[in-house]
Structure 1
């Protein structure tokens, strides 16, 4: 099977539009259309449905998509290996927002100093979304919250986080749990922990930044559970009431992970670097 056809197919699937994929690939739209038709003829099935907004994958297209992504990734990895067996030409790094707040800048600076010829790219998102990206080969390494359960992932390094309950100083906090946006790994574990501790269901409010969460806790809007490193980094350690949690009840280290079949060339460096 022609890998170039698969690249066009994946691009159209990601863009959900033949015209947008053509612009991205710098091909004529007719060229993209003909390549998709050629791939469909080779496979003997229809890969896309046409809809008013563009195209969407058929059932057969969805099955092909995951194989295509894996094939393309392995071909690109093979090309990089053949170019230079010792050189890490590029590294796409994903990080949770909590890790980005506390340590990602120093990590990237050290990485750049030690490997100045490596092209670095950073993506931030929630643990849930980051896991999807690394499983789909869209990132090379990722900082996630918690030890991964996926068999395809391996832990390269880890940081044991000290988790704390933060509450307002001067008043009784309402039964409201202030959380980072949907997909944050701390949220589900923390809500379960608070329920076990109080036997009271807490209303959940989601925010887009940890500084906002801490500011709202300080204002008396509710309580939250966060890594102590974030509280200190944002200088709220004297602004809110802090209670340490039992690590046996709630252990959520930050782990640096990669796919077992897509291990970076600088793996030994990543395993030994101080985070």
Structure 2
């Protein structure tokens, strides 16, 4: 089995198509097909369900995909080990929840010191970003903490207060039964705090509307559509300008901690090490 066979396998799995994989890899289709068949022969098991419109991983294929990703990650780590540690370069993939107030300062300082690093930012909710770090699809991520997981190392970035945000200046818990809650998708730490609070109060919300971005949520609140929960720092200017109004959240649901996480058993590249150092310097 060659390492390149695993790359071909991963590409076919990602596209569900030999032709699309061949196009991406700049191979002829027959070569891709032959390498997949050879891989199945060596492993003595089919890896795909084949149908007219393409290919879908079967159970054994999913197992191989997990192992192949780990192998690919280790190979990439080995290569990055030999980078110039005093002058980091390459791509650094970082996950973010959209309301990390400290992020612009961290990124600006890091960019100015290490211009050869290409930062790729992936937005998402905490649960999704955590899984991507565990699966080594991200080098690290800013998420809502704390996180308890044996594979995860975490650094506290900032502690903030959550607030409820509405269009009007008045709010009561009864409003939740008559107006929609505008929230991030499941897996968001802010949403979990609000849901725990209203559950403890025995309140059933009128409706939950899910959104993927902060801009859409806060724009909808400003339009009077509903209520959201968000870190206070992310709406300070909007409140000061009278666009929206904020309302306090009681303990123990108020305090929220943003942390930076990475997989502790992965190799700490010079690129990521310098990024972690920048976080510590900016938040200590």
Distance change >3 Å, CA 247–CA 33, structure 1 → 2: farther
Deviations 1:124-149 (A, max 9, x none): 22223222322222211211122222
The alpha carbon displacement at 1:171 in A equals 5.8
SS where residue 64 of structure 1 aligns? Answer: helix
SS where residue 252 of structure 2 aligns? Answer: coil
TM-score of the pair, normalised by structure 1: 0.87
Distance change >3 Å, CA 87–CA 157, structure 1 → 2: farther
Partner of 2:277: 269
Deviations 1:139-175 (A, max 9, x none): 1121112222222111134211211122342566334
Counterparts of 1:156 and 1:200, CA distance in 2: 35
Unmatched runs of 5 consecutive residues or more in structure 2: none
Counterparts of 1:44 and 1:164, CA distance in 2: 57
**Residues 1-275 of structure 1: matches in 2 within 5 Å?**
1-90=1-90, 91-99=92-100, 102-170=101-169, 173=175, 174-197=178-201, 199-202=202-205, 203-232=207-236, 235-237=238-240, 238-262=242-266, 263-265=268-270, 266-267=272-273, 269-274=277-282
The answer on whether the counterparts of 1:177 and 1:205 sit within 8 Å (CA) in structure 2 is yes
Deviates more, 1:133-142 or 1:41-50: 133-142
Deviates more, 1:179-188 or 1:113-122: 179-188
State the superposition RMSD in angstroms. Answer: 2.4
Unmatched runs of 5 consecutive residues or more in structure 1: none
Distance change >3 Å, CA 73–CA 49, structure 1 → 2: same
TM-score of the pair, normalised by structure 2: 0.85
